[in-house]
Homo-oligomer: A and B are copies of this chain.
């Protein structure tokens, strides 16, 4: 694989393409309604939480230093990204743009000068 192909694979649009073909090859589009995909997304987030639930905040910061735990967390994050990308794709939503739009809104709601260092204000990033 050439370097530029490799780069291309890293974009969300390319991932969405791969996931669409994956579902088509298996005739799974019929199950991939937005409702079902949102449930699958939530299920994977639940598995991610289960990996972190008994860790102290400090342990969670260092978790990638443990290859086994780190590998499980990376795999769960991969699953979450799969369903999030697939959900956005079936709805025709550009995932990164949707995030950027929300971030721009958060920037207006939480001016740095007013909320600096405050957890109460961090409820939305």
Interface string of A35-67 (1 = CB under 8 A from B): 110111111111111101111111011011000
Copies of this chain, complex-wide, total 4
Distance of A81 Cα from B77 Cα, bound (Å) = 12
Taken together as a complex, chains A and B put the C-alpha atoms of A86 and B119 apart, in Å, by 17
Give the CA-CA distance A16 to B86 in the complex, in Å.
20
Count contacts on A: residues with CB < 8 A to the other chain: 89
Can you list 19 A-B contacts (CB < 8 A)? A10-B13, A12-B96, A30-B117, A31-B54, A34-B60, A38-B49, A39-B42, A40-B53, A40-B54, A40-B125, A54-B122, A57-B57, A61-B90, A78-B98, A78-B100, A79-B124, A82-B99, A82-B102, A83-B125
